[in-house]
Each structure stands twice: as structure tokens, then as C-alpha cells.
Amino acid sequence: MMKRVLVGLVLLAALGRPTVPAAQAGPTASPVTYEIFAVRFGVLPQFPVANLVAGGDKDRKLDIPVMVWVLKGSDGRVVLIDSGFYEEKFVTRWKVQNFTTPAAAVSRLGIQPDQVSDVILTHMHWDHADGADLFPKATVWIQKDEYQYYTGEAWQDPKRRGGGADVDVMSKLVKRNMAGQLRFVAGDAQEILPGITCYTGGKHTFASQYVGVNTVKGVVIMASDNVYLYQNLTMHAAIAQTLDAASNLQAQDRMRTLSSASGIIVPGHDPEVFSRFRSVGEGIVQIVGDRPSSAR
Ligand SMILES: [Zn+2]
């Protein structure tokens, strides 16, 4: 009897966290699809292209957007890919123009911070991870290896001292974990939410990830900084900041395969995103709508 109670308890614990109903609703349920929006919350002025594209033109500079990406699910779920930044030190140090907080930028889509149920962090850099606490009810998703490295070993090599992670950003994420609001993604090709799959191999950071999103046009790849600019794709040039250029190029090729139905790969900092897609508000474009005929 005791054993049965124990088994029951273990089962209950395993089922403890509420999961999305649609994914488990059985084979007859229609798959969840997402509308996707790119939301700009500032501009980094005159950024050297050579710091974005390996072998890029050393004299060319570009005003590059800082963005978050909003996914609105057919099941009502609102997911953010990356969370941007808002701490004053970053805004000042990087002379960010037209800055608004990522939460304020997202509110232009009619989305309040509390409505965001999940934030997927592609990597630990400050410009993508600092703003997670602007969305207090969200579960934050991060690759396990990425989190472990940038809260651990990255700080133990005096030459690397964090390897590009920021002490305050990491401290906030540690607290988020201790508040029970952080979940690990266990490696490559993990469907963490219905219709949302995380992939590794871009090697922008130790275990950076990119995201495949189910849409009415097929899978769209949200590359984040694993591809900085469209130019990386058209020139088949690795990003300038990668730990492994060969792996980065392989990831690019894989992104093309994964997104072959939609033909859409969204880079992390390309201003052209805002002219390629339909504007639906200040600093916001709709990358895919909720019907096949909409957008693009
Ligand atoms: Zn970035």
C-alpha cells in the first residue's frame, strides 16, 4: 500500500508543473501555430560590419536594431524569444538610440508584461538576457550547458572573466532559477512548447540556441545572433563572433533545411528585417500572420 502511495506521489510530482494542453491533446488536435513579430526597442549606432560578418568590410558601419521577437500562439500563449535589455549602464555605454524598454516596446502590440508566459533566451549576452525580469510571470528557458557555463566555469579563467556574460544579468537569472521560474533546455532539437523547438550548434556563445517556430507557412527559424545579418546567409559567412566558425556555417545550412517550407530565417540584428516585412506599428513588423495569405 505504502509503495502504491509512493508511486502515486512520484507520478504527481512528475505531472506537477502544468503543461500546455494543446500539445498533449492527442492526434486529433490541430497543431499550434504562431504569429511572429519582430519588435525593435532601440538602435546601436554605427556598428562595424566586420564585427558581425567574418571577413566583412572593415570600413562599413551600420545602425543595427536591438530586438525581441513575439510569438502569439493559436492556443493563446504569448512567448518571447529573447528579452532585450534595459539597465541604465548598458543603454549609456552603448549609446543606444531611440531606446524604450522591451516591455514598453512589446506593449505597442497590446501585450502586457504579465501576459508573457515564456521567455526563451537564445544566449546569455546582456542585450538578449537582461530584460527577462521585465516579464515577471514568465518561465525563462535556457540551454542547460549555457546556464551552467556562464554561472560557472566562464568566470574561473582569468583571461575570459565571464566570456561575455554580465555579472548582474547572470545574478538575476540565478535568482529567477531560485524563484522556480527557470527551465533548462536539454540540448539539441528539443520541442519545449507545442510548435516551438530549440536547436544548438550556432556557437555564438558556449551553447547558444536558435528556435524553430511552427507557423501557417511552415517552420520559421529565429536565428538570433547565431546569424547577425542576412549578409551572413547570402555570403555564407560565419558570424564574426563565434566560438566555432565551421559549426556556425553548419548551423546556417541546417536552418535553411529546417525552414525550407517557409523560406524564412530571421537574423539577430539586421535592420532590413524592418523593410522586408509588413509594419504593424512603431518599430514592429509582422513576420508571419495567422493566415497563409497574411504578411510577407
Ligand atoms: Zn545581440
Over residues 160-180, the pLDDT tens digits come to 788 889 999 999 999 999 999
Question: Rounded to the nearest whole angstrom, what is the distance from the C-alpha of residue 137 to the centroid of ligand 1?
Answer: 24
Question: Rounded to the nearest whole angstrom, what is the distance from the C-alpha of residue 10 to the centroid of ligand 1?
Answer: 41
Q: Is residue 296 part of a domain?
A: no
Question: Rounded to the nearest whole angstrom, what is the distance from the C-alpha of residue 11 to the centroid of ligand 1?
Answer: 41
Q: Is residue 97 part of a domain?
A: yes
Closest to 40 measured CA to CA, from 127, 150, 149 = 127
Does residue 6 have a pLDDT over 70?
no
Q: How confident is the model at residue 92 (pLDDT cuts 50, 70, 90)?
A: very high
Question: Rounded to the nearest whole angstrom, what is the distance from the C-alpha of residue 100 to the centroid of ligand 1?
Answer: 16
Q: How confident is the model at residue 294 (pLDDT cuts 50, 70, 90)?
A: low
Mean pLDDT calculated for residue range 274-292: 95
Question: Rounded to the nearest whole angstrom, what is the distance from the C-alpha of residue 17 to the centroid of ligand 1?
Answer: 31
Per-residue pLDDT at 231: 94
Q: Is residue 81 part of a domain?
A: yes
Q: How confident is the model at residue 56 (pLDDT cuts 50, 70, 90)?
A: confident
Mean pLDDT calculated for residue range 3-28: 50
Does residue 58 have a pLDDT over 90?
no
Question: Rounded to the nearest whole angstrom, what is the distance from the C-alpha of residue 82 to the centroid of ligand 1?
Answer: 9
User: In the predicted model, what is the mean pLDDT of the chain?
Assistant: 91
Least confident of 80-94, 150-164, 175-189: 150-164
Per-residue pLDDT at 158: 82
Mean pLDDT calculated for residue range 5-11: 49
Mean pLDDT calculated for residue range 275-284: 97
Q: How confident is the model at residue 48 (pLDDT cuts 50, 70, 90)?
A: very high
Question: Rounded to the nearest whole angstrom, what is the distance from the C-alpha of residue 98 to the centroid of ligand 1?
Answer: 17
Q: Is residue 91 part of a domain?
A: yes
Q: Is residue 11 part of a domain?
A: no
Q: How confident is the model at residue 16 (pLDDT cuts 50, 70, 90)?
A: very low
Does residue 26 have a pLDDT over 90?
no
- The structural domain count of the chain equals 1
Domain range for residue 141?
30-288
CATH of the domain at 137: 3.60.15.10
Does residue 18 have a pLDDT over 60?
no
Q: Is residue 162 part of a domain?
A: yes
Instruction: Record the pTM.
Output: 0.89
Question: Rounded to the nearest whole angstrom, what is the distance from the C-alpha of residue 43 to the centroid of ligand 1?
Answer: 11
Least confident of 56-65, 77-86, 97-106: 56-65
Q: Is residue 23 part of a domain?
A: no
Q: Is residue 277 part of a domain?
A: yes
Q: How confident is the model at residue 57 (pLDDT cuts 50, 70, 90)?
A: confident
Question: Rounded to the nearest whole angstrom, what is the distance from the C-alpha of residue 224 to the centroid of ligand 1?
Answer: 7
Question: Rounded to the nearest whole angstrom, what is the distance from the C-alpha of residue 269 to the centroid of ligand 1?
Answer: 7
Mean pLDDT calculated for residue range 133-139: 98
Question: Rounded to the nearest whole angstrom, what is the distance from the C-alpha of residue 237 to the centroid of ligand 1?
Answer: 17
Query: What percent of the chain has a predicted confidence (pLDDT) above 90?
Result: 81
Neighbours of ion ligand 1 (CB under 5 A): 127, 225
Does residue 19 have a pLDDT over 50?
no
